[in-house]
C-alpha cells in the first residue's frame, strides 16, 4: 500500500513539473522564449505609470512630462529586469568537437546591448565578425567572461544565443559613449572549428 502511495506522489509531481515546463515554454509548439517572456512580465509588473503632465496655468498647455530617474541615464531601461547569471539558448546543436575551457576556437558572432523594447531584444549592435571567423584561445580573458562561459560545452557547427548580465560583460563602467554602465549583453555566436 505504501509503495502505491509513493508511486502516485511521484507521478503527480512529474505531471506538475511537465505542466510547469509547458507553461514557461509558452505551450507545446508555440515557440516562445521563456526567458524573454519572464523578463517582459517582470518589467510590466514593476513599471509604474508616470503621473499626468501638469499644465501651464496661463496658457493651458501641457508642461513636459516628468522623467523617471532610470530614464535620465542613457541606454535601455532595465527597470524591474534582473539577469544574475549567463543564460544560454541553443539555436543549432553542433555535432563536431566539444569546446573546452582551454580550446582554440574559430567563431562567428554578433553582439548587441540587450534592450527589452527593441525587436528581438537587440538594441545597439556593439560588434560582429563581418562573416570572417575570429580565432581565439579560451581561458586567457580575451572575451567577455560570460561569453567564454557560454562557449564551453558547445560543439563545432553549433550556434547559441547568450544573455549576459552586466557583471559578466562590461561591468559598472561600460564603455564610454558606446556601452551603458551595467549593460546586459546579447551575443549570438557560432562555433566554426575547435582545436
| 161-180 confidence digits (pLDDT tens) | 999 999 999 998 888 888 88
Position 122 in a domain: yes
pLDDT tens column, 84-113: 899 999 999 999 999 999 999 999 999 999
Position 61 in a domain: no
Position 103 in a domain: yes
Half-sphere exposure of 91 (CA within 13 A, CB side): 11
Buried b (16+ CB within 10 A) or exposed e, 121-157: bebbebeebeeeebebebeeeebbebbbbbbbebebb
Position 140 in a domain: yes
Confirm if 34 and 25 have CB atoms less than 8 A apart: yes
CATH number of the domain to which 111 belongs: 3.10.50.40
Amino acid 71: pLDDT: 38
Nearest-angstrom CA–CA distance, 183 and 40: 17
Does the pTM surpass 0.85? The reply is no
CA angle 157, 159, 160 (to 5 degrees): 150
Position 31 in a domain: no
Position 11 in a domain: no
Q: Which of 163, 79, 179, 164 is nearest to 120 (CA)?
A: 163
Range of the domain at 115: 81-194
Domain count, the chain: 1
Amino acid at each position: 500500500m505504501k509503495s502505491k502511495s509513493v508511486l502516485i506522489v511521484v507521478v503527480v509531481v512529474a505531471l506538475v513539473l511537465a505542466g510547469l515546463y509547458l507553461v514557461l515554454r509558452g505551450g507545446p509548439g508555440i515557440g516562445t522564449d521563456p526567458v524573454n517572456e519572464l523578463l517582459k512580465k517582470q518589467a510590466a509588473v514593476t513599471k509604474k505609470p508616470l503621473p499626468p503632465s501638469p499644465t501651464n496655468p496661463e496658457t493651458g498647455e501641457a508642461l513636459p512630462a516628468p522623467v523617471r530617474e532610470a530614464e535620465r541615464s542613457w541606454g535601455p531601461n532595465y527597470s524591474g529586469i534582473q539577469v544574475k547569471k549567463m543564460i544560454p539558448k541553443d539555436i543549432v546543436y553542433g555535432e563536431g568537437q566539444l569546446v573546452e575551457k582551454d580550446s582554440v576556437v574559430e567563431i562567428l558572432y554578433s553582439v548587441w546591448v540587450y534592450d527589452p523594447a527593441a525587436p528581438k531584444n537587440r538594441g545597439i549592435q556593439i560588434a560582429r565578425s563581418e562573416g570572417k571567423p575570429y580565432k581565439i584561445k579560451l581561458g586567457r580573458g580575451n572575451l567577455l567572461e560570460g561569453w567564454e562561459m557560454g562557449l564551453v560545452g558547445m560543439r563545432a557547427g553549433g550556434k547559441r544565443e547568450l544573455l549576459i548580465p552586466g557583471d559578466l560583460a562590461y561591468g559598472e563602467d561600460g564603455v564610454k559613449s558606446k556601452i551603458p554602465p551595467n549593460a546586459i549583453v546579447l551575443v549570438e555566436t557560432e562555433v566554426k572549428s575547435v582545436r
